Structure 1
């Protein structure tokens, strides 16, 4: 029997499986427990295969951090698209999407915390963090400006990003303190303070 050729699709599938496994193991065991053996066991591949696709565990972790950021971006953009054409509705959808699945997820939080632990000690992760949050703030600035060109979109985006992050973190850690709806209401109230006009209060 002739063995099927090794295809690009198979390679991509295995690479993605390793990235997903790295996220799962990081969320479960943290950076200290995320060994090559544990990750490959989670992915269902031999330990030697990791080196075939990545220049070590650090490169795999970086790919996983990028992948998680892209997944969050996709979820936020999907929420904006579903909100319709009204600028205010699109802005609200972007802000409150972080308080709903798939962004509001305990495993995603655990993996994100593992990535954050590497940001201050590793330049590669610091760069990913910088680019990820810059993209988030830029998108938020665009949505803010579409609602009210007179608002200070840059400062509003910085403040609201910090607020959303904090609310998301607390919701994932202890959802008994407040509800996702209340988190959204808090973000909306703070949003109103950045506009010199009542456009953010509708």
Structure 2
């Protein structure tokens, strides 16, 4: 009996840039669906329908691939956020409220995205690529918030010599709310997070003493 020839597995053929993006988006899907268990060259390349050697060819290592996945999600969030703010003709306060609303949209607050994000964060201590990606994207968001908070403080007549501690505190609040609400997935969770963020901004604008107690870098005018 004549044996049938073994068919070689056919992989998708794309241009290098297309294959890179395919691998990045496949990595994101694997992390969203399986969390840390999805951090596998075999699973990612199977999802992308390419050979395992493509990871080293295009990224050098899986750590660099995952850092690129983190960069892509962060970039898409920041670019769409900036586009939203640029379309707003209101004050810095209006733009910050818009930032809050976009930050807590359902498309960003979901367990699958959180599952991927937890993997990203867990890799930071041991992956130079992830640490650099985190630092770069974190700084981009902080710069945006610093600019808005500084303008608000000037509009309100607050005498602040260093806005960095305030922006870092706000980022910590937003990150915490995002994680908590994404985990709980309660009804109206986005609105609850929005209310807390807006309350924080109201307290900041009123110059509540909490900001003075936690930083000697700035003071508020009385009034």
TM-score (norm 1): 0.84
1:16 — aligned with what? 21
Counterpart contact for 1:75–1:103, Cα < 8 Å = no
> In structure 2, how many angstroms separate the alpha carbons of the residues matched to 1:107 and 1:30?
8
Give the secondary structure class of the aligned counterpart of 1:195. Answer: helix
Task: After superposition, give the CA deviation of every residue in 1:133-182 in whole Å (9 maximum; x if it has no partner).
Answer: 12111110101122222264322211111111111111111121752112
Are residue 48 (structure 1) and residue 58 (structure 2) matched? Answer: no
> In structure 1, how many angstroms separate the alpha carbons of the residues matched to 2:38 and 2:24?
16
Counterpart contact for 1:27–1:114, Cα < 8 Å = no
Question: 1:32 offset after TM fit, Å?
Answer: 4.4
1:35 — aligned with what? 40
RMSD between aligned residues: 2.3
Q: In structure 1, list runs of 5 or more residues that go unmatched.
A: 1-6
Q: In structure 2, list runs of 5 or more residues that go unmatched.
A: 1-12, 209-223
Question: 1:196 offset after TM fit, Å?
Answer: 4.3
TM-score (norm 2): 0.77
Whose helix fraction is larger, Structure 1's or Structure 2's?
Answer: 1
Counterpart contact for 1:75–1:102, Cα < 8 Å = no
Range with bigger deviation, 187-196 or 55-64: 187-196
2:71 — aligned with what? 66
